[in-house]
Structure 1
């Protein structure tokens, strides 16, 4: 039997792609978490200084430790001289005092406390040092699929080699939301007063909280080298998006760009039902079967996140290697439906056999063999006879 790749092209009524979002950020990544559709990717795999956005990795590891019993929320951790030495955003912790893990976590999320990060890092590090914890962060990041992240500290303090990509930060945000839903609501907390003497230092810097657009996390970041950035997430209805951007010139630009991205992602895309499960959309040739073809159907409803502009069509393709040898059982995966839209990733949907096709009986096999013979004879005619050359 000769098998070959088969491609059927056909048209599905879909939508024209929405205009790509032209962001002012130097790097950005936007994904619809509900469907996994990447809506925007700009320099998303470039390893860049993440500033305080990398604190999300410290938080993830703290949640890991709470989940496996290495930390308790009401446990009090000792503040070291090293933790106290940090400037920038802090909880104004003093060496020698003890602080509850829950307060440290809230202090990192809401107040971006560098000192709080170090206290947790030293508590969880194998050797009791922040540097040792940074190595653990890098290892854990690789396990999570974050291949462009390397950590030099727990807080995002500017340091040589401390880098993350925007896609890695989106992966991390996704894991925080999915793996630790109990703690995720902390990211929407608008203020946290840790020290009454520092009442001005209590507000969350996330500019989207409270705007009524569904924003509920996650972390801002800023250093001179990195510019202004934000790892954000928002939910409207059944959809949730995650977005990451960096390199903006001011906190005002960060707020404006972030709100634009959220509005664009929700208003320019919608979930659409395209094909119902069990609908025959193509047929595959069958070898040595009681039937010569078998219907190809999606095993599940095809629903895609698509641009909202409608009234146009795009090509779709069914790809399989055939003919498919019988016997075939209904539900056997035989092919793929491939749909590609400009500015959106390719979508692949498995296609399965619509029905059973038993192996052919003797007569059917003879018919198949005769057909193959005819094809071979037609494709390879006998060479013309030549008269023998005369002997000399």
Structure 2
């Protein structure tokens, strides 16, 4: 059977003056905020709803190109051809790096064009250059994007093109965008710094489109990526990341009514995520949290300890106390080996997901000798049927 031990132990004393933050109300229609350092979801508002991602979906095209670099299929100096379709995107009225037919932009040029200029033409060039299972077309590349997205955990994403240009069925969720941004940070640190560049111009072109649209990059708040997006249907959105001290957050928002509203909301989210939470060590390696019953062992109980230090984000505003409990299936049956996971510490934080921390046996508990096993078994049977063990 499962045992639940409510805790009022020293580990919770850390929370005495650090209780839950009031929920943050965002103006975004959908949002996902994640603390990468402690792996904590700080906000989830319609985060799994599939919506038009606009240019934020360029992050998947960028991911596909980064993977091609990592696999050795291209290098930073590999040139790509510019098709009629790519040139048409230059003239269509959206973001562009102003490519022309006779240009042969390199991978390095195209990465900057997609990230800094948000070039739709650059995305088409990459799509046709890398292609997909059905040939070197943007449609084939979009199919490959969708397939690869599923493989890396983007469960609510379907791609119809490489740029985020409005198209029926082109959808992503804010959680997927956040997961994708997290992947770009963790998997491709050698390229990630490009997201923080504020200006780029291919061959001196695009004087009005050379500036990075990310409104957070120049605010001195640790922001260093990732991608804005806007269409009439989607509204204004942003996948952003910022690092302050040892903590890094990533967030995805959409549905804001203007670029000004997007900038203000993004800054509010960054401020809230860093100022309303503090990272605390709540349990130490090897320090006993609770005890579990042991059946047929040389002792009747064993200490439960975390196998590693446990750090959590602790909300800073006082509202209501946190609680914790230890859950295990028991009693444990001897022999019990030290270091074996046998229980779980669950810390309940209002307005945040529960934190579940594995606990291991503190020490070995050998199986008892024959006579002790007989006595223990008899006592257990007596208790089961008579309600109380006989006096020993």
Please, what TM-score do these two structures have when normalized by structure 1?
Answer: 0.94
1:147 aligns with 2:155: yes
Distance 2:88 2:7 in 1: 65
1:188–1:216 CA contact under 8 A, matched in 2: yes
Would the alpha carbon gap of residues 85 and 337 (structure 1) be closer, same or farther in structure 2, given more than 3 Å must change? same
Q: CA deviation at 1:92?
A: 1.6
Structure 1 unmatched runs, 5+: 381-392
Tell me the alpha carbon deviations over residues 237-271 of structure 1, each in whole angstroms, 9 at most, x when there is no partner.
Answer: 00000011001010000000000100000000010
2:98–2:205 CA contact under 8 A, matched in 1: no
Q: CA deviation at 1:313?
A: 3.7
Alignment of 1:172-183 (within 5 A): 172-183=180-191
Q: CA deviation at 1:199?
A: 2.1
Tell me the residue number matched to 1:193.
Answer: 201
Alignment of 1:269-284 (within 5 A): 269-284=277-292
Q: 3-state SS of the aligned residue for 1:198? A: coil
Q: CA deviation at 1:196?
A: 2.0
1:39 aligns with 2:47: no
Equivalent of 1:101, from 99, 102, 107?
107
Equivalent of 1:77, from 76, 80, 84?
80
Distance 1:250 1:362 in 2: 77
Distance 2:103 2:220 in 1: 39
**How many pairs are equivalent?**
377
Q: CA deviation at 1:301?
A: 1.5
Select between 303-312 and 364-373 the one with higher mean Cα deviation. Answer: 303-312
Alignment of 1:218-237 (within 5 A): 218-237=226-245
Select between 61-70 and 296-305 the one with higher mean Cα deviation. Answer: 296-305
Q: CA deviation at 1:377?
A: 3.3
1:20 aligns with 2:26: no
Tell me the residue number matched to 1:254.
Answer: 262
Equivalent of 1:9, from 6, 15, 20?
6
Tell me the residue number matched to 1:303.
Answer: 311
Tell me the alpha carbon deviations over residues 158-205 of structure 1, each in whole angstroms, 9 at most, x when there is no partner.
Answer: 000000000000000000000000000000000002132432321101
Equivalent of 1:51, from 30, 50, 54?
54
Q: 3-state SS of the aligned residue for 1:183? A: helix
Please, what TM-score do these two structures have when normalized by structure 2?
Answer: 0.94
Q: CA deviation at 1:42?
A: 0.5
2:196–2:217 CA contact under 8 A, matched in 1: yes
The Cα RMSD (Å) is: 1.4
Select between 55-64 and 5-14 the one with higher mean Cα deviation. Answer: 5-14
1:122–1:128 CA contact under 8 A, matched in 2: yes
Q: 3-state SS of the aligned residue for 1:309? A: coil
Equivalent of 1:171, from 153, 171, 179?
179
